[in-house]
Copies of this chain bind each other. A is one copy, B any other.
Amino acid sequence: MSEDAFLEAYDPAAFERPALTVDLVLLGLLEGRPAVLLMKRSWHPHAGRWAFPGSFVGLDETLDAAAGRVLQEKAGIAEGSGTRLEQLYTFGAVDRDPRMRIVTVAYLTLMPEAAFTQSLAGGAGLSAAVIEVPWTGEAGGPVAAYLAGDWDERAPLSFAFDHADILALAILRLRGKLDYSDVGFALLPEQFTLRQLQDVHEAILGTPLNKPAFRRRMLDRGWLVPTGAREAGTSFRPAELYRFQKPL
């Protein structure tokens, strides 16, 4: 075909191509609520708005490698720290960046508690924003984010570029995988109670769940190992702590 003939004579520099980046939706928990790490833009365009950390994709690095590099450079998290990277979707609207044509591969990053707070305190300029998921049934909907601490006082913060769409899709993906995969556990610390696990599920789904049914489902799955230890610091009956471990 002509495509092959074209490629045979192709000069890589001859034609303009879109630039290619990766952007990371860094998800974790803040006081039990789902939250993302964002950078406040101080330059044009979209100065004052909030964006996910990202980077250009190098000529000799994989997409996954570029995402891992961003995790390292901008969030201060080394690979293999329990943080999980998963490709989410590729966004290619022509005018998504006013400066030039940039196609971005969005990654969903699930951070356990330790990694999340570590990169928040890392001084790399990342802020945490709590996510509020409206109940929209099966369909996806707009997702609001509020700067940590001011959850019920301030206005939702505004996103740069198409990053609001990216976040909405990330939540949708999370929802879809919630009850057949182990994404719910990836956000929790090493040890957690069943109530914490249920809170995470409810926050992501945006709807309350039936307590006995939820416990049965989780325990019957066989992924939870009781530690024998109990939570501390409550003024009532402390719950048992569990560890997540897939059998075999």
Residues in B whose Cβ lies below 8 Å from that of A8: 43-44
Contact pick for A57, options B10, B64, B103, CB 8 Å: B103
Residues in B whose Cβ lies below 8 Å from that of A157: none
A246 at the interface (CB under 8 A from B): no
Within the oligomer, what is the number of copies of this chain? 2
Contact pick for A20, options B1, B4, B7, B17, CB 8 Å: B17
Cα(A3)–Cα(B99), bound, Å: 13
Cα(A89)–Cα(B88), bound, Å: 8
Interface string of A54-93 (1 = CB under 8 A from B): 1111011111100000000000000000000001011011
Cα(A7)–Cα(B20), bound, Å: 13
Interface string of A1-39 (1 = CB under 8 A from B): 101110110101101111110000000000000000001
A57 and B90 contact, CB distance less than 8 A:
no
Residues in B whose Cβ lies below 8 Å from that of A89: 87
B43 and A5 contact, CB distance less than 8 A:
yes
Shortest distance in angstroms between A26's beta carbon and chain B's nearest beta carbon?
15
Shortest distance in angstroms between A153's beta carbon and chain B's nearest beta carbon?
28
Contact pick for A59, options B7, B16, B44, B93, CB 8 Å: B16
Question: Range of interface residues on chain A?
Answer: 35 or more
A42 at the interface (CB under 8 A from B): yes
Cα(A94)–Cα(B64), bound, Å: 11
A92 and B62 contact, CB distance less than 8 A:
yes
B12 and A100 contact, CB distance less than 8 A:
yes
Contact pick for A12, options B12, B16, B42, CB 8 Å: B16
Give residues of chain A (202-237) contacting chain B, Cβ–Cβ below 8 Å: none
A105 at the interface (CB under 8 A from B): yes
A42 and B4 contact, CB distance less than 8 A:
yes
With A8-B43, A18-B57 as contacts: A90 and B87 at CB distance below 8 Å:
yes
Residues in B whose Cβ lies below 8 Å from that of A163: none
A103 and B60 contact, CB distance less than 8 A:
no
A residues neighboring B (CB under 8 Å): 1, 3-5, 7-8, 10, 12-13, 15-20, 39, 41-44, 54-57, 59-64, 87, 89-90, 92-94, 99-101, 103, 105, 125
The 10 tightest CB contacts between A and B, nearest first, are: A63-B92, A4-B43, A90-B90, A16-B59, A90-B105, A12-B100, A18-B20, A59-B101, A62-B92, A17-B17
